[in-house]
Amino acid sequence: MVVKKGAKNSKGKKSDRPQKAASAKAVTKPKKAVADKNEYGAKQIQVLEGLEPVRRRPGMYIGSTGASGLHHLIWEVVDNSFDEAMAGHCDTITVTLNKDGSISVEDNGRGIPVEMHKQFKKSALELVMTKLHAGGKFGAGGYKVSGGLHGVGVSVVNALSNYVRAEVKRDGKLWMQEYNYGKPKGKVKAVKAIRGTGTTITFKPDAAIFETVDFNWDTIISHLRQQAYLTAGIKIIVQDRRSKELEKNHTFYFEGGVKSYVAHLNHQKEAKHPNIFHVRKERDDVGEVEIALQYTDDFQENGFAFANNIYNPEGGMHVVGFRTALTRVLNNYARKNNILKEKDDNITGDDSREGLTSIVSIKLKEPQFEGQTKAKLGNPEARTAVEAVLAEALEIFLEEHPKDAQAIIEKCVIASRARLAARAARDTILRKGVLEGLTLPGKLADCSTRDASRSELFIVEGDSAGGSAKQGRDRETQAILPLRGKILNVERARLDKILTNNEIKSLIIALGTNIGEQFDIEGLRYEHIVIMTDADVDGAHIRTLLLTLFYRYFRELIERGHLYIAQPPLYRVAKGKEFHYAYSEEERDKLTAELLAKSAKLETGKASTKKQAAKAAVEEALGNGETEEGEVKTVSGVNVQRYKGLGEMNPDQLWETTMDPTKRIMKIVTIDDAARAEQIFGILMGSDVEPRKRFIQTHAKNVKNLDI
């Protein structure tokens, strides 16, 4: 996601220049005819009919109008199919990306009812598609459990699409209705006789609503694979038909449920015990509780929580119940078997979850989510149910698998000792800073404002780039923290070792949030944390090390949108006094060709001839994209410079290309798929070489500008 900041003056401050007055002459009117702009009466009250509220405020229903919101449309439709599966009426779901940019979701469930609704005098299908809070998930008999409890899912998709087609196989006929921008084009009608039952929803998102309407194949695959694990025995077929040459097909089917999911998440990690704990149990007060867990040699927790197959990134009451039971059962077992002595401290919650991969899935009759995006579960009964099921089953598992139990407890005890060592190290660092009378690191060039909402921290590679950044920055709002060399790879290190790294210590103190069990985001001193490294292999490595640090120990900063990556230019293209910055080879060649087209040598002939000649000259002079770092090549009077690093830019250049809020390009770091992110960090930064080797071999052909 590319983010550009609002218009400000050359140092990022709002201009004091007065706005130009309107040129129209004022017309004097009787006082009674002048409307009071602050008037608030009955005529100011607006009632938005039908699906208009969704089009006015789409973020309230799908979270955002960016890529995540776009894909949320698919999840809303697919959730309805999974509700049919959980009710036992569907065993196959097919998702197809069509050539025209639309998406089709088909299931072999019962089919949405099509008969007339007595109250509204419309087909039940039309009500479901065009009315908010219309569905079979509120009263008894429709669904025992469901993910789309609000009844707004498919109607929201309809509202935010320029075209939708609903096809229902039911009662021996194929029924159909089409919609534009949420409004029916006609009545529900029977198209033909057909066997079987099921529903197919085809929708094309409205490009006027969304920032992008380009669906990401990997995002869809990852999400649907996850759903297949959560609903054992359901076949999910995913098809990409957008390009005939690049057609793709995937089929997911898992009998093992969440136990298979844990095995998948840990397949590249070293397990501490061979047997995966798994329990699935029906509870009268909620529905079904299913839990699987296994410990690995990792130092971080890798846990996922679901309610009615909906991922809850912020957890909820089911997670509270899981953590409470886990810690209590492990402590009881350790005391009972004399692994923990009377003098020993108890294993804490953090200790019990170090290196733990877990899935908590609960199916409830009446789930209470916080918001339509369902990030957090609020049902108190979910805590009681999960706590009871896990406590009973885990006690039996530990007794029946003593070797597994010993490995788990030893892992937790070692984590406890490391936590105490890390606390001592952290306290020493902070106390040392206070005793020196300087709580901020000396290398930090801080900004003058104390308003965190206006301030930015640039983490810069090296003293040279740091010097340019310090001179070119806006001193009021921009702070600079230069790093010397590459920081520690935190993927394979505990916190006590991490805190011995001077560069990481400086960063922790500068951020103001503390780290580990004492992390507090309220102490954050900067609204934007910007990683600004060179555009070469070393810069990419440092950036990856920093991303690993933030993902593992400051993840909340990413989740709240505080972490960014600066995009410095790769080239400077100049002819005479005219110059431009290029951020890619393609942009460099285009700018060079444009400047060449202006030259006297190419003034004769047609425009197309000029363009072809310019392109040929660029390719000949630049060697088809090969420009060495720091080298300046000349193409018929056009100078093309490849920047070796940020330190090569003078302060003014660094400001105007990379730091000026009115001109810069920055990428915001997000976590769209936590499971995939976990896997990638493990592959790239873990100790196991073989998975990393396979990853490099697989993706080597996609790398551009590889510096060796």
Q: Are strands 161-170 and 173-180 parallel, antiparallel or unpaired?
A: antiparallel
Which listed residue (461, 496, 585, 648) is catalytic? 461
Which listed residue (91, 392, 463, 538) is catalytic? 538
Gap between the Cα atoms of 493 and 299, Å rounded: 7
Distance (Å) of CA 610 to CA 458, 599, 603, 605, 613 = 43, 10, 7, 7, 5
620 assigned to active site:
no
Check residue 658 and report its DSSP letter.
Answer: I
- Give the tokens for residue 160: 């935010």
Q: How many helices (H) and strands (E) does the chain have?
A: 21, 24
- Give the tokens for residue 13: 């401050």
In a 10 Å sphere around its CB, with 0-12 CB exposed, 13-18 middle and 19+ buried, how is residue 690 labelled? exposed
Place of tokens 């590249």: 268
User: Do residues 236 and 646 make contact, with C-beta atoms less than 8 angstroms apart?
Assistant: no
Distance (Å) of CA 614 to CA 571, 586, 595, 640, 678 = 18, 14, 9, 14, 46
Gap between the Cα atoms of 111 and 82, Å rounded: 13
534 assigned to active site:
yes
Residue type, 383: R
| CA nearest neighbour of 236 among 220, 250, 218 | 250
User: Do residues 543 and 462 make contact, with C-beta atoms less than 8 angstroms apart?
Assistant: no
Q: Are strands 277-283 and 456-461 parallel, antiparallel or unpaired?
A: unpaired
3-state secondary structure labels for all residues of 426-480: HHHHHHHHHHCCCCCCCCCECCCCCCHHHCEEEEEEHHHHHHHHHHHCCCCCEEE
User: Do residues 548 and 489 make contact, with C-beta atoms less than 8 angstroms apart?
Assistant: yes
| CA nearest neighbour of 53 among 44, 43, 45, 61 | 61
Gap between the Cα atoms of 330 and 655, Å rounded: 55
Distance (Å) of CA 76 to CA 101, 202, 203, 686 = 18, 13, 12, 35
In a 10 Å sphere around its CB, with 0-12 CB exposed, 13-18 middle and 19+ buried, how is residue 348 labelled? middle
| C-alpha torsion sign, points 22, 24, 28, 31 | negative
Q: Taking each helix axis as running N to C, give the angle between helix 585-597 and helix 607-622, from 0 to 180 degrees, rounded to the nearest 10.
A: 130
206 assigned to active site:
no
Gap between the Cα atoms of 79 and 139, Å rounded: 18
| C-alpha torsion sign, points 306, 309, 310, 311 | positive
Which listed residue (351, 387, 404, 534) is catalytic? 534
- Give the tokens for residue 637: 């009077």
The count of residues in the chain is: 708
660 assigned to active site:
no
Which listed residue (91, 463, 527, 536) is catalytic? 536
Catalytic residues: 461, 534, 536, 538
